[in-house]
Amino acid sequence: MEKIYTKNAPDAIGPYSQAIAVNGMLFTSGQIAINPATGIVEAEDIAGQTEQIMKNLGALLEAGGSSFSKAVKTTCFLADMNDFAVFNEIYGKYFTEKPARSCVAVKALPKGVLAEVEVIAVL
C-alpha cells in the first residue's frame, strides 16, 4: 500500500491521505473545490467548483500513476440536485470513458461547498 501525495491537490484536512494506491488500483479521497495554491474555496458557483474539483482529481490521478481515462468508479455528492445538469456537463468533459458512478444529494459538505467527488481508478 502506498500513500499518494501531491502539492497540486489540496492537503488532507483530517486524518486521511489524498489517495492510496494498492494492488494496481488508486483510491482518491473525496475532493472539494479547494484551490491547492491558496488553500481556500475560490469559486462560488457549481461550474467553477466542479472545474476545481476536476483539476484536483487530475493531479491526484497523475501523482498516483493513473488518469481520468482509467477511472472505473466515481462517487459524486451534490449539495443541491438542481446543480446536476451543470455538474454533469463539466464532469463529462473529464470522464470521457464513462466509469460507473453514483451521484447523490447530501445535506451539507465540508466548507459549505456545492460538490465533492471521489474516484477509483486502475493504475
Active site residues: 103
- Residue 52 grid coordinates: 476545481
Query: 86 Cβ partners below 8 Å, 6+ apart?
Result: 46, 47, 50
Contact status, residue 6 vs residue 63, Cβ threshold 8 Å: yes
CA distance 33 to 4: 19
